[in-house]
Amino acid sequence: MSFTDFNIAAVIPAYRVERDIHSVLSGLPLYIKHIIVVDDASPDSSADLIADSAKKDNRITLIRHSQNQGVGGAMVSGFHKALELGAQIVIKLDGDGQMDPSHIPALITPLIQGKADYVKGNRFRDFQSLQQMPFVRRLGNLGLSFLTKAATGYWNIFDPTNGFFAIRAEILAQLPFNKIDHRYYFETSMLANLYLLGAMVMDVPIPARYGNETSHLSIRRTLFEFPLKLLVTFLRRIILRYYIYDFSMMSLYLMIGVPLLLFGGIFGSVKWVEYASKNIPAPTGTVMLPTLSVILGIQLLLSAIEIDMNSAPRKAISDPLEK
């Protein structure tokens, strides 16, 4: 297979990357026909360095933002340009040198073969490389990865927040760009919308490279902002997938299980406080009613989770690419 037979584009969001951007651009393989770099109003000399590189390499297109729009905003601008250039596959890399271009074939091969619609790197398959990840980043990513799996519906992948990915252009064109988060939640919001399209997502083991860059993962975002956004994403997915687009046993399990669990928990707590304050034992029926409600509610929710875990798209909706 020769990658030069395909129209492959790389999109690179650039913000404060003057130290690494030249080596990133010069290290990209020749089979990438379009290199789209989006300067997101970077206050350093990143844009000037990119412009200089563009004079030497006609594959490079520089897009300048007058105001900072975040990584998601930069990527959406790059996506529009890639589609305009007729790209068949679009790759996303960062401009800080964390993502090794030698792993690009692992990302694009399943897309060319029609085995996946979206392929992303997985930093957690290689334990030795994982140890190189800063501890705070490792801890935050591991926790967020589990919550993101539940929120997006892609239970079969790990490291869903990894930003090193490739996507088929026809799938990219179907995404509602106005619903893609423009900031740090970009990758997760993309996955959530890919799930609603029924796109097959695959991850491949790709170790990340870490230097002296500063992580933008803060405690405030990890503990407060991310969980709230993930909860909204989860509720939106469940409502659309199981009540608007379709209705199944999963829908019934949720409709019955959640009220039973809430009733059992609230009613049982109220009665426990009531009888404990009177220092008298509660009647058997008063004990059994919330207990059975909680047990049945948990069983139904576990069944719903099992159905949801098995409902992740497992077949690509895009066909193999022809030369």
**pLDDT tens digits, 39-64:** 999 999 999 999 999 999 999 999 99
Is 96 in the same domain as 231? Answer: yes
Is 66 in the same domain as 162? Answer: yes
Residue 232 lies in a domain: yes
Q: What is the pLDDT of residue 162?
A: 84
Is 198 in the same domain as 261? Answer: no
Instruction: Average the pLDDT over 288-297 and give the result.
Output: 96
Residue 319 lies in a domain: no
Q: Is the pLDDT of residue 174 over 80?
A: yes
Q: What is the pLDDT of residue 124?
A: 77
Proportion of the chain above pLDDT 70, given as a percent: 90
Is 126 in the same domain as 173? Answer: yes
Number of domains in the chain: 2
Looking up tokens 């379009």 gives 34
Instruction: Average the pLDDT over 217-242 and give the result.
Output: 82
Categorize the per-residue pLDDT at 323 as very low, low, confident or very high, splitting at 50, 70 and 90. Answer: confident
Is 135 in the same domain as 283? Answer: no
Is 190 in the same domain as 269? Answer: no
Q: What is the pLDDT of residue 183?
A: 86
Is 105 in the same domain as 207? Answer: yes
Q: Is the pLDDT of residue 308 over 90?
A: yes
Q: Is the pLDDT of residue 207 over 90?
A: no
Is 60 in the same domain as 98? Answer: yes
Q: What is the pLDDT of residue 69?
A: 94
Domain encompassing residue 11? 3-242
Q: What is the pLDDT of residue 82?
A: 98
CA nearest to 100, candidates 32, 18, 22, 164: 164
Q: Is the pLDDT of residue 161 over 90?
A: no
Categorize the per-residue pLDDT at 101 as very low, low, confident or very high, splitting at 50, 70 and 90. Answer: very high
CA nearest to 313, candidates 207, 171, 177, 218: 171
Which residues sit opposite 38 in a β-bridge? Answer: 13, 63
Q: What is the pLDDT of residue 311?
A: 92
Strand order in the sheet with 165-168: 60-64, 32-39, 8-14, 89-92, 165-168, 118-122, 201-205
Residue 133 or residue 257, greater confidence: 257
Residue 85 lies in a domain: yes
DSSP 267-294: HHHHHHHHHHHHT-PPPHHHHHHHHHHH
Residue 323 lies in a domain: no
Residue 322 lies in a domain: no
Is 106 in the same domain as 190? Answer: yes
Q: For residue 56, how many C-alpha atoms fall within 13 Å in the half-sphere facing its CB?
A: 7
Residue 251 one-letter amino acid: S
Q: Is the pLDDT of residue 33 over 90?
A: yes
Is 110 in the same domain as 197? Answer: yes
Q: What is the pLDDT of residue 219?
A: 56
Quick: pLDDT tens for 118-160: 999 988 776 665 666 666 666 777 777 888 999 999 998 888 7
Is 9 in the same domain as 118? Answer: yes
Q: What is the pLDDT of residue 221?
A: 60
Mean pLDDT of the chain: 90
The C-alpha atoms of residue 125 and residue 57 are separated, in whole angstroms, by 35
Categorize the per-residue pLDDT at 93 as very low, low, confident or very high, splitting at 50, 70 and 90. Answer: very high
Q: Is the pLDDT of residue 222 over 80?
A: no
Q: What is the pLDDT of residue 208?
A: 65
Is 274 in the same domain as 151? Answer: no
Of the three residues 224, 242, 260, the one that is the final residue of a domain is: 242
Instruction: Average the pLDDT over 62-74 and give the result.
Output: 95
Residue 38 lies in a domain: yes
Q: What is the pLDDT of residue 129?
A: 59
What is residue 43's DSSP assignment? S
Q: What H or E segment, with its residue span, contains residue 32?
A: strand 32-39
Q: What is the pLDDT of residue 206?
A: 87
